[in-house]
Structure 1
Amino acid sequence: MRVIGLMSGTSYDAVDAAAADLALAGDTLTLTPLGHLAEPYAGGLRAALAAALPPADTTLAEVCRLDTLIGRAFAAVAVAADRQLCGGRAELVVSHGQTVYHWAEAGTVHGTLQLGQPAWIAEATGLPVVADLRPRDIAAGGQGAPLVSLVDLLWLRGRPGTPVALNLGGIANLTAPDGTAFDTGPACALVDAAVRDHTGGRLPYDVDGALAALGTVHGPLLARLLDEPYYALPVPRTTGKELFHGGYLRAALADFPRLPAPDVVATLTRLTARTVADAVRSVRATEVIASGGGTRNPVLMRMLAEELPGVTLRISDALGLPARAKEAYAFAVLGFLTVHGLPGTDPVSTGARHASLLGSVTPGRDGLPAVPRAQRAPVRLVVR
């Protein structure tokens, strides 16, 4: 089955699409990558999205507007992916949408909201669309994140030692072989906020780690940031830009008003490396397989290696899944499982009472996907 996965993460910089040929035989799911592409949000849409995200106030009118505009943006990327990657022969689209709020209080997640109305995708492509994947796990008592943990478990099964999958997006999360999975804290979220503030919005992130490379880690600021109570919460735990946003950073910097911007960015980069490394050590990992936009920051990757002596650090490309598109591929897998009647969660990973079928399906031009219900769930994922 040719499936297109669509994803925009907590950095909300672009819509990523990954196309895959997926086949389930016995207990093995085989993924053949067909390629990936990314389309940045139009400047006006990205600015409107940023202005509406917590802790900012917004209106239902703006939520409706964003739901439509993001849906149209996802639809345009899906059309391009079908044409360029699948030769017009895609059979299913799976859309994560754009997370705008994750309602977590005292370690419990009560709800989540992803925008990007899937009807626009179905209308533009003519294909059925699986979307709104997180709420079902939350309804079953789970965190709704990290939602790709089941895919990670299938993918890494059988590797020697204790490998963990690490995603470095706006927020960092990991999955360990025993099913332990959680958001470790910020990956690029605070670094991005600092760079935007420093450049007046001219730069959205620290390109190639250039600012961090010019700075020196400031010990007192790092200690202040490490006092964040989130890092002491039990796992599974999840977070987002509801906590780690520009206002959070500015409050932390109030006691350090004259700290040069490069030092701030270097310190925040070290914060990410330290909190990720603490999480990796907590599961006694021997190998880290990293993906996400943060892998393109050489300073962050160097700091992470410094924090994890003796632990092998790889980029997911080495195992066949491009770091930039790995989450989009993972959501393609989750949607494939849904239309075959198979659960897409591991309850150990999310803290749910049971595994759940994920998402809602919007019919395509010819209705719902005409696929038989699978007789057994896969226990391993092979990437060709």
Structure 2
Amino acid sequence: MRVIGLMSGTSYDAIDAAAAELDLVGDSLVLRPLGKVSASYDDPLREALAAALPPGTTSMAEVCRLDTLIGQAFAAAAVRADRELCDGRAELVASHGQTVYHWAAGGRVHGTLQIGQPAWIAEATGLPVVADFRPRDIAAGGQGAPLVSLVDLLWLRGRPGTPVALNLGGIANLTAPDGTAFDTGPGCALIDAAARGFSGGRLAYDADGALAARGTVHGALLERLLAEPYYALAPPKTTGKELFHLGHLQEALAGCGRLSAEDVVATLTALTARTAADAVRAVRATEVIASGGGTRNPALMGMLAESVPGIALRTSDELGLPSDAKEAYAFAVLGFLTVHGLPGTVPASTGARHARVLGSVTPGRDGLRLPPPAREKPVRLVLG
């Protein structure tokens, strides 16, 4: 089955559309990557989304408008991926949507909201669309994240030692072989917020880690940031920009004196590396396989390598899965599992009471025609 996975992460810089040929062969799920296309949100839409996200306020009218415009943007990305990567022969779209709120309080997740109306995708492509992956896990008592943990576990099974998958997106998350999975804290979220704030919106992120490379880590600021109670919580746990936003940084900066943009970004980069490294050591990892936009930041990757001496650090590209498209491929897998009646979660990873088939399905042009239910769950993911 040819599946297009759509993903826009917490950095909301672009929509990634990754196409994959997926097939169940015995107890293996075989994934053949077909490529990825990316489409940035246009400036007005990105600005409207940024203004609506926490700690900003919004209205139901604006949520409706964003749900439609983001759905249309996802639809355009899916049409392009079908045309350019699948020769017009895609059979399914799996859309993560755009997370705008993750309701976590008191050590539990009570709800989550991903927008980007799937009806627009189904109408534009003619294909069935699986969307709204996270709510079912939350309804079953889980955190709703990190959902890529099942894919990580299938993919890393059989590697020697204790390999862990580390995603360095807007929020960083880790998956260990025993099923332990959790958000380690900010990936690029605070770095991006600082870059935008200090540049007056001219910079969206710290390109090539240039700001961090010119700066010096400020010890007092780093200690203030590390005092955030989230880091001490036991997994499973999840977080988001509801916590790690510009206001969080500004509160920590109060009383630190006047710091340069370079020093602040260097300190935030060290924070991401330190909290990720603490998580890696906590699960006694022998190998870290990193993915996500943060892998393109040499300063971050250098600090991370220094923080995990003796532990092999590589990117998912080296194992055949493009690091900048890994999450989009992961949601293609989750969509494939859903239409075959297979669960997409690991209770040990999210804290749910049971594994559940995820998502809601929007029919395509020809109505809803699902494949026969799979006879057995895959136990490994193999790249073809």
Query: TM-score under structure 2 normalisation?
Result: 0.99
- Deviations along 1:290-347, one digit per CA (max 9) or x if unpaired, are 0000000000000000000000001001111100000000000000000000000000
Give 1:238's aligned residue: 238
CA deviation after TM superposition for structure 1 residue 25, in Å: 1.4
| Other-structure match for 2:42 | 42
**Which runs of 4 or more aligned residues in structure 1 lie more than 2 Å from their structure 2 counterparts after TM superposition?**
none
CA deviation after TM superposition for structure 1 residue 257, in Å: 3.5
Q: Which amino acid is 1:57 matched to?
A: T
CA contact (8 A) 2:286 2:312 kept: yes
Partner of 2:268: 268
Gaps of 5+ in 2: none
CA distance in 2, matches of 1:255, 1:375: 61
State the alpha-carbon separation in 2 of the partners of residues 51 and 167 from structure 1: 26
Cα distance between partner residues in 2 of 1:202 and 1:169 = 21
- Matched position secondary structure for 1:174: strand
Mapped contact 1:163–1:285 kept (Cα < 8 A)? yes
Helix, strand or coil at the partner of 2:303: helix
Equivalent runs, 1:280-359 vs 2, <5 Å: 280-359=280-359
1:69 aligns with 2:69: yes
Q: Please give the alpha-carbon distance, in whole angstroms, between the structure 2 residues aligned to 1:88 and 1:251.
A: 50
Deviation at 1:131, TM superposition (A): 0.2
Aligned AA (1:127): L
Between the aligned partners of 1:158 and 1:273, the Cα distance in structure 2 is 27
Alignment-derived partner of residue 360 in structure 1: 360
SS state of the match for residue 141, structure 1?
coil
* Cα distance in structure 1, aligned partners of 2:359 and 2:255: 45
Do 2:169 and 2:188's aligned partners in 1 also have CA atoms closer than 8 Å? yes
CA distance in 2 between counterparts of 1:375 and 1:297 reads 43
* Other-structure match for 2:200: 200
For 1:280, give the aligned amino acid: V
Superposed displacement of residue 55, structure 1: 1.1
Separation (CA, whole Å) in 2 of partners of 1:9 and 1:383: 24
Aligned twin of 2:141: 141
C-alpha contact (below 8 Å) 1:339/1:369 kept by paired residues: no
My pick for the range that moved more, 368-377 or 168-177, is: 368-377
For residues 2-21 of structure 1, the aligned pairs below 5 Å read 2-21=2-21
Which stretches in structure 1 are left out of the alignment for 5+ residues?
none
8 Å CA contact retained: 2:211, 2:262: yes
**Distance in 2 of aligned mates of 1:333 and 1:131:** 13
Matched, 1:382 2:382: yes
8 Å contact from structure 1 (residues 128, 363) kept in 2:
yes
Query: What are the superposed Cα offsets for residues 176-224 of structure 1, whole Å, 9 maximum, x if unpaired?
Result: 0000000000010000010001110001000000000000000000011
1:107 Cα offset (Å)? 1.1
Q: Is the 8 A contact 2:340 2:370 kept in 1?
A: no
TM-score (structure 1 length as normaliser): 0.99
Q: What secondary structure does 1:130 align onto?
A: strand
Give yes or no for contact 1:68–1:116 (8 Å, CA) kept in 2.
yes
Query: What is the aligned-residue identity percentage?
Result: 79
Structure-2 separation of matches of 1:254 and 1:202: 24
C-alpha separation in 1, matches of 2:287 and 2:369:
38
C-alpha contact (below 8 Å) 2:157/2:177 kept by paired residues:
yes
**Cα distance, 1:369 vs. partner?**
3.4
> Match for residue 102 of structure 2?
102
Q: Secondary structure at the match of 1:204?
A: coil
After superposition, give the CA deviation of every residue in 1:100-153 in whole Å (9 maximum; x if it has no partner).
Answer: 000000210000000000000000000000000000000000000000100000
Aligned AA (2:376): R
Q: Distance in 1 between matches of 2:148 and 2:36?
A: 18
Tell me if structure 2 keeps the 8 A contact 1:285–1:311: yes
Partners of 1:335 and 1:46 in 2: CA distance: 26
Q: For 1:178, what is the secondary structure of its paired residue?
A: coil
Aligned residue for 2:378, secondary structure, equals: coil
Separation in 1, partners of 2:254, 2:219: 15
Partner residue of 1:154?
Answer: 154
Q: Let me know the Cα RMSD of the aligned residues.
A: 0.5
Change in CA separation of 1:175 and 1:190 when aligned onto 2, cut-off 3 Å: same
Counterpart of 1:256 in structure 2: which amino acid?
A: C
Report the residue type matching 1:119 in the other structure. A
Alpha-carbon distance in structure 1 between the residues aligned to 2:178 and 2:8 = 28
